[in-house]
Structure 1
Amino acid sequence: MALTPKNELSREEKRAKQESAQQEALLREVDDAVRQSDAQAFLDRWGKPLLGLIILALVAFAGYLYWDSRQEAAMERDSETLVGALDQIQAGNLDSGYDRLEELAAGEGSGAAVAAKLMRAGIAEQRGDTDEASALFKQIAADDGAAPAMRDLARLRDVALNYDAMDSADIVAALKPLATPGKPYFASAGELVAHAYLDQDKRAEAGALFAQIAKDQTAPESVRSRARQMAGVLGVDAIEDVEALLAEQGVERESAVGEDAAVATE
């Protein structure tokens, strides 16, 4: 009688394995059916709302792309208008440049519209129409939608334009917020405020402000030089580094000392 090999499975073990495999297959089928049923139930309940949301998202995205393309096209047109007007102004055709900016300046809220108004105000000032220039500067300064730097520039230009006709207290009130070290227009605004202080006989305040302007490395050298001279007249030392100042002005230390000595002996 032949013996069964040790590695050969018994009939009962084979049957048990087959039944286990069949049960696993059945469980998978049941699980798949349950999942399909759940998915179908979910789609029956939420399918239409989800489809509506997807459609809305696609429409919104398409709308954004359209709006973005329109905005880009509008920016290109505005840039072309500004450049064309600037070319006319540089060529001396002030009236033509002024007219080119009319439609763009009539817009609200955009940086290009504010720039167009500033350019028209500058043209009006060059043509001697100070009333129109001042009105445009005031519009920009009062425009909450304009960039702060543009509003400050318009306020500064308006005060400079009407300085002689303004009360010194009004000048200080209008420009003092700008006459602070670190502000973009500190030197120009500070110079006007300092002169207004002199009109009010506030020599100490004027001298201190002139000294601050003279020491401001970001200010134009012409403004710093005037401020340095005014500070000296008012008895305020505005020179931090004598050697650096002499070097900037191309004066040698020995010659400067010799000149001072000669003045002292006269």
Structure 2
Amino acid sequence: MALTPKKELSREEKLAKRDAAEQEALLREVDDAVRQGDTEEFFTKYGKPLLAVLILGLVGFGGYLFWDSRQEQAMEADSEVLVGALDQVEAGNLQTGYDQLEALAGEDRGGASAVAGLMRAGIAAEQDRPDEAARLFAAVAANESAPQALRDLAKLREVATRYDSLSSGEVITQLKPLAVPGNPFFASAGELVAHAYMDQGKEAEAGALFAQIAKADDAPEGLRSRARQMAGVLGVDAIEDVDALLEEQGVDTQAADGEAAAQIQ
């Protein structure tokens, strides 16, 4: 197939094409210059603030790393204090352990300080200093930076320590928020509240609460047993499955049935 011959450009057309190419190159150079000028102007205007922000960011990040390192060191130091005091208590050196915990308990260190305060309160109670123990428990319960579970435990122990000096109404008011099924301290708080109800002559409320405690699977068995007995005394049936209860208590139900049948015969 024959190729179509290219059309020869005239002199005027060649000059026009050259001029167009030169203008395009000139425009490209001007555009590059403008872009470069904009960049230089931008960095002239905002370069220092951007650099300052970058430096502040790096300083802040470095500060966080330093703070995190200090936090870990502080946690390790707190753990050493708590473990050392616990070793003293287990060795029978109650006063030494009590003294070792004083500084940590007096600081605002969240959970570690709360645990130290609870340990000191427990030691004071063990040493037959109930007023001091109640005061220390109350301090932990009022510490808003402490975990809620530790504050609730402290409140429970405070009321238990001061139970004889509190009115039944005060016991109910302070522990009723904890004496609800699902709360980790339901059984212990509920038992105290139920006894306070009995002091007020509210046997129906007391019996119902004792029955709830008796049916709480996560409550200690000794506490459930006491609650079951108290519920029965108050005329409330707290036994859902008699056979299961007898099995828990180690009673051979088949042997018991056999003995009962023999006695009938």
> TM-score, normalised to structure 2's length?
0.88
Gaps of 5+ in 2: none
Deviates more, 1:142-151 or 1:204-213: 142-151
Residues of 2 paired with 1:209 and 1:101: CA distance?
38
Residues of 2 paired with 1:197 and 1:231: CA distance?
13
Aligned residue identity for 1:192: L
- State how 1:180-195 maps to structure 2 within 5 Å: 180-195=180-195
Residues of 2 paired with 1:184 and 1:167: CA distance?
24
**RMSD (Å) for aligned C-alpha atoms:** 2.6
Matched, 1:96 2:133: no
Gaps of 5+ in 1: none
- State how 1:229-248 maps to structure 2 within 5 Å: 229-248=229-248
Residues of 1 paired with 2:165 and 2:256: CA distance?
42
- Report what 2:171 is aligned to: 171
- Report what 1:28 is aligned to: 28
- Report what 1:67 is aligned to: 67
What's the offset of the Cα at 1:260?
Answer: 7.3
- State how 1:187-266 maps to structure 2 within 5 Å: 187-257=187-257
Aligned residue identity for 2:75: M
Contact 2:110 2:147 in 1 (8 A): no
Residues of 1 paired with 2:145 and 2:178: CA distance?
19
SS at match of 2:145: coil
What's the offset of the Cα at 1:210?
Answer: 0.3
SS at match of 1:235: coil
Residues of 1 paired with 2:233 and 2:115: CA distance?
39
Aligned residues: 261
- Report what 2:108 is aligned to: 108
Deviates more, 1:176-185 or 1:85-94: 85-94
Aligned residue identity for 1:211: A
1:21-53, Cα deviation, whole Å (9 max, x unpaired): 655544433322221111111112111211121
Aligned residue identity for 1:33: A
- State how 1:111-130 maps to structure 2 within 5 Å: 111-130=111-130
> Alpha carbons of 1:37 and 1:205: their partners in 2 closer, same or farther (altered >3 Å)?
same
SS at match of 1:210: helix
1:224-250, Cα deviation, whole Å (9 max, x unpaired): 111111111111111112232222222
> TM-score, normalised to structure 1's length?
0.88
SS at match of 2:239: coil
What's the offset of the Cα at 1:69?
Answer: 1.3
Identity of aligned residues (%): 62
What's the offset of the Cα at 1:14?
Answer: 8.4
Residues of 1 paired with 2:124 and 2:7: CA distance?
107
Aligned residue identity for 2:68: D
Aligned residue identity for 1:95: Q
Residues of 2 paired with 1:261 and 1:161: CA distance?
50
- Report what 1:51 is aligned to: 51
What's the offset of the Cα at 1:116?
Answer: 0.5
- Report what 2:148 is aligned to: 148
Residues of 2 paired with 1:83 and 1:71: CA distance?
18
- Report what 2:40 is aligned to: 40
Aligned residue identity for 1:222: G
Aligned residue identity for 1:221: E
Aligned residue identity for 1:77: A
Aligned residue identity for 1:31: D
SS at match of 2:107: coil
